[in-house]
Amino acid sequence: MDIAIFSEVMKQAIITIILVSSPVLLISMIVGLVVSIFQATTSIQDQTLTFVPKIIAIFAALIIFGPWMSDTLVDRATWIFGLVSQVK
């Protein structure tokens, strides 16, 4: 395998990881920020209050973005397996 092909595969793998994980991470961060603001304004200092809304939001994000995430991963895997024919 040429070093250029290997570098391109690694670059595309990192980009794919960032793209696929970003919707869930962003939604989790937004929900955490909203819950933190709510806790600060109401003076509720319960540490477990953030977990339930985050879990619900993450499951909803996985349901909404799951098909796109799996399609993206399958496309990248198909591309990588297509490169096997170019290995010398």
Q: What mean pLDDT, rounded, does the chain reach?
A: 90
- pLDDT over 70 percentage in the chain: 98
**Higher pLDDT pick, 86 / 52:** 52
Report pLDDT for 8.
87
Residue that has been written with the tokens 């024919």 in this structure: 85
What does the pLDDT average to over 46-61?
A: 89
Report pLDDT for 1.
61
- Check pLDDT > 70 for residue 83: yes
**Annotated domain spans of the chain:** 64-88
Whole-model pTM: value is 0.79
